[in-house]
Chains A and B, each alone.
Chain A
Amino acid sequence: MRLLLAIVVILGLFTADLRYNRLQTTRSVLATLVTPVYWVAELPERVAQWGDKHLHSRLALEEDNERLQRENLVLQGRSQQMASLQAENVRLRALLNSTALLRDDVLVAELIGVSPDPVRHQLVINKGLADDVYPGQPLIDADGLMGQIVEVSSNSSRALLITDATHSIPVQVNRNGVRAIAEGTGSLGSLEIRHVSATTDIQLGDLLVTSGLGGRFPEGYPVAVVTEIERDPGRTFARVVARPSAALDRSRHVLLVFSTKHGRGD
Chain B
Amino acid sequence: MQQQGYWVILLSFFTAYVLAVLPLPQWLQWLRPEWVALCLIYWVLALPHRVGILTALVLGLGLDVLEGALLGQNAFALVVVALLCLTLYQRLRVFSLWQQAGTVFVLVGVNQLVCQWVQNLQGVGAPSLLFLLPAVSSALLWPLVLHLLRQLRRHYMVA
| Contact of B68 with A115 in the complex, beta carbons under 8 Å | yes
> In the bound complex, do residue A10 and residue B23 qualify as a contact, i.e. CB atoms below 8 Å apart?
no
Q: How large is the interface on A (under 10, 10 to 19, 20 to 34, 35 or more residues)?
A: 35 or more
Kindly list chain A residues whose C-beta atoms are within 8 Å of the C-beta of B23.
Answer: 41-42, 45, 113-114
Chain A residues positioned under 8 Å from B127 (CB to CB): 119, 186
What distance in Å separates the Cβ of B70 from its nearest Cβ neighbour in chain A? 5
Q: Which 6 A-B pairs have the closest CB atoms?
A: A13-B72, A118-B29, A30-B65, A17-B71, A37-B17, A13-B71
A55 within 8 A of B: no
Interface residues on B, range: 35 or more
Contact B83 A17 (CB under 8 A): no
State the Cβ distance, B123 to closest chain A Cβ, in Å: 6
**17 A–B contacts, CB within 8 A, in A order:** A2-B53, A6-B79, A10-B72, A14-B118, A18-B70, A27-B71, A33-B65, A34-B62, A37-B14, A37-B18, A38-B66, A42-B23, A116-B20, A116-B21, A116-B22, A118-B130, A120-B68
Q: What residue in chain A is nearest B119 (Cβ atoms)? A: A119
- Fill in one digit per residue for B125-149: 1 if any A CB lies within 8 Å of its CB, else 0: 1110011000000000000000000
Interface residues of A in 7-47 (CB under 8 A from B): 7, 9-11, 13-14, 16-18, 23, 26-27, 30-31, 33-34, 37-38, 40-42, 44-45
Q: Which residues on the B side are within 8 Å of A40 (C-beta)? A: 14, 18
In the complex, what distance in Å separates the CA atom of A41 from the CA atom of B19?
7
Q: Using Cβ atoms and an 8 Å threshold, which residues of chain B touch A114? A: 23
The docked-state distance in angstroms from the alpha carbon of A22 to that of B115 is 21
Q: Which residues of chain A have C-beta atoms less than 8 A from B122's C-beta?
A: 18, 166
Q: Which of B62, B119, B124 has the most CB of A within 10 A?
A: B124
Q: Is the CB of A23 within 8 A of B124?
A: no
Instruction: Decide if the interface of chain B is mainly helix, strand, loop or mixed.
Output: helix
Q: Out of B17, B24, B72, B130, which one reaches A17, CB within 8 Å?
A: B72
Contact with B along A164-177 (1 / 0, CB 8 A): 11100000000000
The answer to whether the Cβ of B75 comes within 8 Å of any Cβ in the partner chain is: yes
Nearest-CB residue, chain A, relative to B79: A6
Inside 8 A of B53's CB, which chain A residues have their CB? 2-3, 6
Inter-chain contact A41/B123, CB cutoff 8 Å: no
A-B contact count (CB 8 A): 112
A183 at the interface (CB under 8 A from B): no
In the complex, whether B81 has a CB less than 8 A from a CB of chain A is no
Q: Contact check: which of A6, A16, A164 meets B57 at CB < 8 Å? A: A6
- Identity of the chain A residue whose Cβ is nearest the Cβ of B118 in the assembled complex: A14
The answer to whether A31 touches B65 (Cβ under 8 A) is yes
A117 at the interface (CB under 8 A from B): yes
> Is the pair A158, B76 in contact by a Cβ cutoff of 8 Å?
no
**A30-B61, A30-B62, A38-B21 as given contacts; A116 in contact with B67, CB under 8 Å:** yes
Q: Which of B39-70 contact A (CB under 8 A)?
A: 52-54, 56-57, 61-62, 65-70
Give me 4 other A-B pairs in contact (C-beta within 8 A), A13-B71, A33-B62, A37-B18 excluded: A10-B76, A18-B122, A41-B18, A116-B67
Give Cα A114 to B17, complex, Å: 14
- Give A208-227 as 1s and 0s: 1 = Cβ < 8 Å from B's Cβ atoms: 00000000000000000000
Interface bits B95-128 vs A (CB < 8 Å: 1, else 0): 0000000000000000000000011011111110
CB-CB under 8 A for A120 and B75, given A41-B23, A186-B124:
no
Q: Which A residues lie within 8 Å of B62 (CB)?
A: 30, 33-34
Cβ–Cβ < 8 Å partners of A148 in chain B = none
Assess whether B26 is interfacial by the CB under 8 Å rule: yes
C-alpha gap A257/B82 in the complex (Å): 44
Which residue on A lies nearest to B22, using beta carbons? A41
